[in-house]
Amino acid sequence: MATDKAYKVLAEQKGISNKKAKELIDKGLVFVEDKKVKIARAEINTETFFRIEYPEDIEILYQDEDIIAINKPAQVDSYDIQDAIDGAELLHRLDRDTSGVLLLGKNREFIEKAIKEFKNRRVEKHYVAWIEGVLYEKIEIDEPIFTIKKGKAFSMIDPVRGKKAHTIVKPEELQGKKSKVNIEITTGRTHQIRVHLAHIGHPIVGDEQYGSRTQAKRVLLHSAKMKILDYEFNAKEPKDIARYK
């Protein structure tokens, strides 16, 4: 059985450069059947058939002279969206795996006004997620979060070094041993929802970093609605969130 490095096999199969193949694997867009290829240099059978899943096109939900609201596809970096939209600046970020409402400002004056709203916790942020286990009732989580930002960010509950974080979780539907939940956060710590849900024993489906044991193409978290100043934006749930299979 002949083997070679995954990115070389992919490059050969798709007629692309080794560099491009490595990039696609690093961005989490390459699959073998339903499993994501995680290590570009892993030795793999040269007969392996790869599938590339490109993210959906970026959908603009709304724009005016001050703000642009995007329905961010999963597996796209928030900064890549900022780079793709001329003259726009991120007002906040969503994790790479998270889909949904992402806001960018279009002029300095508005950007500063909006950032003040985020700082003063006057922005309403609603998410939808699938979580491990069965959740029957509303739960509020008030646990301080501390983030280590060396390399890949990692957050944890830390009563001493952590910053205040507040999350409200409400059950919406059950599917086997998984629950679909609505989440509202009044603070915006790195990986806040993921850490808080893992802390109560209900990590988000697909979130291996924080203890999910279920294989999924991504962390099943979606930013469904945001309210800032006089604006309200809603992003339709993508297929993987709307129906868990």
Over residues 171-181, mean pLDDT: 95
Please report which confidence band the pLDDT of residue 55 belongs to, taking 50, 70 and 90 as the band edges: low
Domain shared by 65 and 90, yes or no: yes
Domain shared by 180 and 207, yes or no: yes
Domain shared by 66 and 171, yes or no: yes
Domain that holds residue 35: 3-52
Interstrand relation of 99-105 and 124-132 (parallel, antiparallel or unpaired): unpaired
Q: DSSP states of 11-25 as a string?
A: HHHHT--HHHHHHHH
- What are the residue numbers of the active site? 95
- Residue 93: what pLDDT? 94
Domain shared by 89 and 177, yes or no: yes
Whole-prediction pTM: 0.80
Domain shared by 81 and 145, yes or no: yes
Domain shared by 150 and 41, yes or no: no
Residues 6 or more apart in contact with residue 224 via CB below 8 angstroms: 100, 101, 126, 127, 128, 182, 234, 235, 237
Domain shared by 43 and 63, yes or no: no
- Residue 102: what pLDDT? 98
Domain shared by 70 and 90, yes or no: yes
The string of pLDDT tens digits covering residues 142-151 is 999 999 988 8
Domain shared by 105 and 121, yes or no: yes
The string of pLDDT tens digits covering residues 126-172 is 999 999 999 999 999 999 999 998 888 899 999 999 999 999 999 99
Q: Are 237 and 128 in contact (CB under 8 A)?
A: yes
- Token look-up 């749930």 returns 237
Domain shared by 46 and 83, yes or no: no
CATH classification of the domain holding 33: 3.10.290.10
Put residue 182 in one of left, alpha, beta given phi > 0 → left and psi -120 to 50 → alpha. Answer: beta
Domain shared by 84 and 197, yes or no: yes
pLDDT surpasses 70 at 189:
yes
3-state SS string over 145-178? Answer: EEEECCCCCEEEECCCCCECCEEEEEEEEEECCE
CATH classification of the domain holding 183: 3.30.2350.10
The string of pLDDT tens digits covering residues 77-125 is 898 888 878 789 999 999 999 999 999 999 999 999 999 999 999 999 9
Domain shared by 24 and 67, yes or no: no
Q: How many domains does the chain have?
A: 2
